[in-house]
Amino acid sequence: MNWDKMEETLDRLMEQKRHGQLRGALMMVNPVDIAEYMKKLDAENLLLMFRILPKDASAEVFSYMDSDQREMLVESIGDRELTALINDMFLDDAVDFLEELPANAVKRILQYTDPQKRAIINQFLNYPENSAGSLMTIEYCEFSPDMNVRDALKTIKKTGVDKETVYTLYLVDNQRKLVGTVPLHKALIVEEDTLLGKLTDPSIISVTTLDDQEMVAQTVRKYHLLSIPVVDREGRMVGIITSDDIMDVIVEEGTEDFEKMSGLAPAEEPYFKTSLFKLASNRLPWLMILMFTSIISGAIISKFENVLAVNILLSASIPMLMDSGGNCGQQASTLMIRGIALGEVEFKDLPKVLWTEIRVGLLVGSVMSATTFVRLLWLNKASVVMSAVISVSLYATVVIAKAIGCVLPLLAQKIKVDPALAASPLITTVVDASSLFIFFTIASRFVL
């Protein structure tokens, strides 16, 4: 489908108020694209188009809307209409939406909700933010291990339309404890009288309601799951988390790590929806910290000012040393943070990681220092001693920066601090101070 032509068609039908044809056209469009199209509509047309949508599509489109669109609709429609919309949404989408609303609005909406669903929603709202319990849904295919494939498939045909996913069958015993899972494709290729219990995967991979969402995402990625069961402390099945929700978690966690690595407080709103004051306040804390920690570098320079007075080339080499050290440290820390996030590297691997990065630093440093030595002799006409001092300082700086860059994130993980916090801001400060100390120590010995 050519989306540009479809968008022109929707615009024309909207302008001409041909609502019947507009409804038919919308039925041909993916709900994600409908939500995207509705971003450009004002409040009046947004409400009009939303009410034109087929009832079974409106809840799905609503789940893909951004917070501004939802807010416009909430202000435009009544509580009962909004409640009916929530009743048609998958439970996890409804909970996500209600979490964005003020407490009094949630209370007002829930009073019209079906009592059973209201009780479940209230239970979900009580789970800690960013926990598995707050992400899960209870709309999944649950069966007894004693049921045969024929009856299970009949049940899926009857109730599957109301389930978040039907690709995995979850088996529970009489105490509702999870005893296994069966992929749908396995049930489709066996004899229909086969008991589901005989198709069960031998290993059960699950998470608990209080597990952090980042750990859940790592588990799903590690085992390549389409969905993952959620159990309580006693092992009872309480819900599942599907891959689409996991993708949202990965994007959210990746964005948060990126912001922390850049010395920013995590932002909850998109860039253009964040106030200037909020943008500034997110950046200011680390900028202030770095400004004051630069005093260390200044103190080192002041202590060795007699060395700088000997040759202007020494002063000119300081930015090159500090930038090279910072870049090398940043490379190592980025690899460590990625390894930690993917579960490839743990604190127990510190000796192995450190030895690897030191050897990488030796190789990289030898090339960089040799190139610098030749450049100083040839282009700057520096003496052999001066060129050697700067080159050796660079060599030592690169090796130490690689070591610092891999150690700090692992230490942060060990003391239960987000490794991203040990990235750019902290590593830059430590590496800068280290490179200056190395440089001046060598220079004061061989230049003076």
Strand 178-183 relative to strand 227-231, pairing? unpaired
The pLDDT score that the predictor gives to residue 287 is 63
The pLDDT score that the predictor gives to residue 329 is 86
In which residue are the tokens 């498939």 written? 153
Query: Residue 279: CB partners within 8 Å, gap ≥ 6?
Result: 267
Q: What is the pLDDT of residues 31-67, one digit of tens each?
A: 888 888 888 888 888 888 888 887 778 888 888 888 7
The pLDDT score that the predictor gives to residue 241 is 92
Instruction: Report the predicted TM-score, pTM, of the whole model to 2 decimal places.
Output: 0.61
**Cβ burial, residue 426 (10 Å; 0-12/13-18/19+):** buried
**Cβ burial, residue 317 (10 Å; 0-12/13-18/19+):** buried
Query: Residue 77: CB partners within 8 Å, gap ≥ 6?
Result: 47, 85
Query: Residue 96: CB partners within 8 Å, gap ≥ 6?
Result: 63
Q: What is the pLDDT of residues 310-330, one digit of tens each?
A: 667 777 788 888 888 888 888
Q: How many CB atoms lie within 10 A of CB 336?
A: 27
Instruction: Set out the domains of the chain in order of their start, with CATH numbers.
Output: 3-133 (1.25.60.10), 141-242 (3.10.580.10), 271-446 (1.10.357.20)
Q: How many CB atoms lie within 10 A of CB 254?
A: 12
Torsion angle defined by CA atoms of residues 267, 268, 269 and 270, in that order, rounded to the nearest 10 degrees: 60
The pLDDT score that the predictor gives to residue 269 is 64
Question: Which parts of the chain register pLDDT below 50?
Answer: none
Q: 185-211 in b/e burial notation, b at 16+ Cβ within 10 A?
A: ebbeeeeeeeebbebbeeeeebbbbeb
Spatial contact of 140 and 92, defined as CB atoms under 8 Å apart: no
Structure letter (DSSP) for residue 239: E
